[in-house]
Amino acid sequence: MGRIIAIANQKGGVGKTTTSINLSACLAEAGKKVLVVDIDPQGNATSGLGVEKNELENTIYELFVGECELSDCLIENVLDNLSVLPSNVNLSGAEIDLIGIEKREFLLKKYITPIRDNYDFVIIDCPPSLNILTVNAMTTADTVLVPIQCEYYALEGLSQLIHTINLVKQRLNPELEMEGVVFTMYDARTNLSLEVVENVKKNLKQNVYKTIIPRNIRLAEAPSHGLPINLYDSKSVGAENYRLLAQEVIYNDEGKEFDVNSFDSSIFDKKETKKGKLSKLIKKK
């Protein structure tokens, strides 16, 4: 059965979208079938995967308000093995537009449940708030993965986030679990990054991913080229670490012991991810 992971943290700029795009692309590179669901009106996961978000006639918003079908907005194989349910600024009205819609917390779930088994992983990129869109993501997901930026205020807001996850679990999705936290933008040159990691590990009962994502300029550059890091700069430390994270996610999923020091490159040798038929698809719409 396909696994659905919501990437959430109500703080902006912590690496949710960067993790959504690059974890997904590295899972796809490992031969897994992946669907990226962009449920953030900023549409950064959409554009970061090379989709011209402002030229889309149909997005997740039109789907939610009943103006299109799933097949009208789902863009298949933007990369090999990787499909996108895109979003753009249209979705920013959702909070108000969805008032009065019956079971509005279950909208996303309604559309994803019938297709989840077409994929090995469904990765949902959440907006930087705990609004109805994030609740929809958590109601649909099996687990929540929380990126934490290695900075002084890393833990701020985390208890609120965990509270929200617990509320969703109690009321809307009893199966929901915390996937764990992943540290992002780690800077090995500063003591601060190290202190943040130690501090969070000490104070948090949740699972902490062994893979740590370093601060890497190539990760920041890649979205402006509409490419995930493994295609933009396959040999960068950013690419290496997102591959390692993908391996850790796969190993967790398969119940295998993961050792952060033994990268299994054979997983990724199987499949060379290529730029898909994206431009053609977009023009057709």
Ligand X SMILES: Nc1ncnc2c1ncn2[C@@H]1O[C@H](COP(=O)(O)OP(=O)(O)O)[C@@H](O)[C@H]1O
Can you give the binding site for Mg ion, defined by CB under 5 A?
16-17, 44
Q: Which is nearer to Mg ion, 3 or 16 (CB)?
A: 16
DSSP state of 15: S
The interface partner of residue 216, options being Mg ion, ligand X, none and the CB cut-off 5 to 8 Å by kind, is ligand X
Burial of 100: CB neighbours in 10 Å, binned 0-12, 13-18, 19+: exposed
The interface partner of residue 93, options being Mg ion, ligand X, none and the CB cut-off 5 to 8 Å by kind, is none
Q: Distance between CA 94 and CA 237 in Å, rounded?
A: 37
The interface partner of residue 89, options being ligand X, Mg ion, none and the CB cut-off 5 to 8 Å by kind, is none
Backbone angles phi, psi at 75, to 5 degrees: -105, 110
Question: Residue 40 CB, nearest distance to Mg ion (Å)?
Answer: 5
Question: Residue 17 CB, nearest distance to Mg ion (Å)?
Answer: 3
Q: Which residue is nearest to Mg ion (CB)?
A: 17
Q: Which is nearer to Mg ion, 82 or 267 (CB)?
A: 82
Q: Which is nearer to Mg ion, 184 or 236 (CB)?
A: 184
**Which residues, at least 6 apart from 254, have a Cβ–Cβ distance to it below 8 Å?**
none
Q: Which is nearer to ligand X, 126 or 135 (CB)?
A: 126
Tokens representing 239?
């690419």
The three-state secondary structure class of 69 is coil
Q: Distance between CA 104 and CA 111 in Å, rounded?
A: 12
How many CB atoms sit inside 10 A of residue 259's CB? Answer: 12
Q: Which residues bind ligand X (CB under 6 A)?
A: 12-18, 44, 128, 184-185, 213, 215-216, 219-220, 223
Question: Residue 238 CB, nearest distance to ligand X (Å)?
Answer: 6
